[in-house]
Structure formats: structure tokens, C-alpha cells
Amino acid sequence: MSQPSTESRVRAERRDSVGHVTLDRPRAINALDLGMIEQLQTALDAWRDDPDVAVVLMDGAGDRGFCAGGDVRGLYDQIVEGRPVDTGTFFRAEYALNAAIAEYPKPVIVLADGITMGGGIGLAGHAAVRIVTERSQLAMPETRIGFTPDVGGTWLLGRAPGRVGEYLGLTGASMDAADAIYAGFADHLVPSEHLSQLHHALQTRADPHTPTELTLLFDATAGPSRLEADREWIDDAFAADTVTDIVARLRARPETAASETADLLEQLSPTALTVTLAAVRRARELPDLRAALAQEYGLVMWFAQTQPDLAEGIRAQLVDKDRSPRWNPAALADLDEGIVREALAFVPDVPLWA
């Protein structure tokens, strides 16, 4: 067995035929910085053609979660200090990693145990075998900071049942294990108490020997999905053409959850909501993950370079923590009619797939 890497925030080692990478930043719930992304990419590159590595296993250190997302505070500093080059460098590296996981020639197994959000979805959501536990909380919460889902999130959201993708993308709602499996963000529920046994089985390659077959030895039946139970009002409301119409339909529904969702949407950035709705729907028509990542890259750079709501949302949530963002514009009715066209047409200075 090879020795663990000496790098502090990603541990990479080979255990028998398993390449095992662990995000090791538990105090930040393993939030990704550029160095961690580069280290993960280095590990995947090293094992790609290694005949002694049959599968790759990815998990997170600590007991709070797999990965809480990207380094949002670092993004805030880049924006307010006027460093768009650094912003672009981070997202290009992250998206290349997302694509590498999806296209990897060997099975990548990700344990999305605990909190898995934003950038964590980019690692877990595109893996060959996506495992959740009873502790899992998955979400794409970007609209809550005046931003839009990325890391291939729109690709996943666009393929969720019915209008669940629009609902999750706009609200940033959390999914438990049952919801994540129902929405297409995960494949199997393995109780957390069995994760160490799954690790051992993967290393020893006991029969049955494929990663999915091994996982099924420990798979448990997920409980009822709240998303599935709420499909009637979600599909009705989130099929509307605009965010304004979605809110109106939610207000007309008798369900308490529908009116609470309307309350939430009215608190979020009109720009983020409107662009996200268009992005999820357009991703539904795109041919593959790389095309979705390219669309997202243009949108995130548009937000970072031209829209005040992103820095304001991060300020309110993570810097001053007053939870009182001042969106610009503050109301859906005040949005420029061409905002979606402008956002989707934005061309970053450096292309994603240069």
C-alpha cells in the first residue's frame, strides 16, 4: 500500500486496487479551494492509466459532511478586489475536474455522507456510483447568495423528474437521501454505520466484484421522498413561464409548503432567480455535460464581473452575516427584459475549454 500524500487538504493513497482520495478540510466541511481541486485532478491523472488501480473512492474527512461547496469567501475577495483572472482560473479548474470525474475510464465512487452542496455536487453528482447516507443533505443553494447553480448542477437539475429541477434550482432546497435518489443526484443509500464495511469490500474485491454490485450488498431502501409527494404543486407552479408567474401559481395553491416557497422566492435575488430558471431549462436541451458546464461558465463569469448581487449575497450570508441582502434590482418587476439574453450571450475573456 502506498503512503498517504503529505498535502494537507487532500489525502490520496492506493489501498490494494482502490485509489482513495479524501477531502481533508473538516473545519470548513471540506470546502474546495483551488489547491484542493488541483490535488484531486493530480490524483485522478496519476491513476487513470495505472493498471493497479481498478476504482477510485472519494470521501470527506470529519463527521459534518462530504463537501460544503467551493471557497465562496475567496470568490468574494476576488470580486471586490477586481481579480477576474483569478475567478476564471478557479472555475476552469473546477469544471475540468467535474468533467474528468464524469468521463473517467474507471468507476468513481463518491460517498456523499452529510452536507454535500454546490461544489460538492460537482464532485459527487457526476460520479459512476453516487452513495448517500441517512445523514446526507444535498443542495444547489446558489440563488441564496445571488448566484446560479454551476459545476454541472444545471445538467442534473434539467434531468430531474417533472419540474423538480426548477424547484430545486430556484429555491436551493435541501434533499435528504430519498429526495436525492428520486431527483437523480444519487444512486444508493448506504447506512453510515456500513461505510467502513463497504470500504473493506471495495479493497478486497470480494464477489460480486463490480462497484455497483458491492454497493448493493449494503444498500438500504430509502424512505418516502418529500419531493415525490409534493410533485403535484411543484409541477403545477414551476411549469410557469416566468418567476413572477411561478410565484403567482404558488400563491394560488392550497398547500402550506407552496405558500412558504412563494415567501422564499420573494426574498431572493430577482436576477439570480430569472437567470437560473432560464439556465436549467436551456440545460435540459443541451447535448452533454460539457455543454452545460460551458453555459454555466459563461453565466458565473457574467455574475462575477457584471452583477452586484453576487458580492452582496456573499456579504450578507458570510461576511457581515446580517442576512439582509440588498438586491439590485430588488423586485422582479424592475428587471430589464433582456437580462436573460444578456447573461446567456456573455463571452468570458478566456474560454472554458481553451
Catalytic residue among 119, 122, 125, 146: 119
Pairing mode, strands 115-117 and 137-139 = parallel
Q: At what angle do helices 289-306 and 84-103 cross, to 10 degrees?
A: 160
Report the alpha-carbon distance of residue 55 to residue 173 in Å, rounded.
32
Nearest to 304 by CA among 275, 277, 331: 275
Three-state secondary structure call for residue 119: helix
Return the residue matching grid coordinates 475549454.
353
70 is catalytic: yes
119 is catalytic: yes
Spatial strand order of the sheet with 65-67 comes to 65-67, 115-117, 137-139
Nearest to 96 by CA among 49, 59, 44: 44
For residue 188, what are the β-bridge partners?
Answer: 131
Catalytic residue among 59, 150, 187, 312: 150
Catalytic residue among 70, 120, 158, 313: 70
End-to-end Cα separation, the chain, in angstroms: 37
313 is catalytic: no
82 is catalytic: no
Phi-psi bin for 29: left (phi > 0), alpha (psi -120 to 50), beta?
Answer: left
- Residue 239 in contact with residue 164, Cβ under 8 Å? no
Catalytic residue among 24, 59, 142, 312: 142
- Secondary-structure percent of the chain, ordered helix, strand, coil, rounded to 5: 50, 10, 35
Phi-psi bin for 297: left (phi > 0), alpha (psi -120 to 50), beta?
Answer: alpha
Task: List, by residue number, the catalytic residues.
Answer: 70, 119, 142, 150
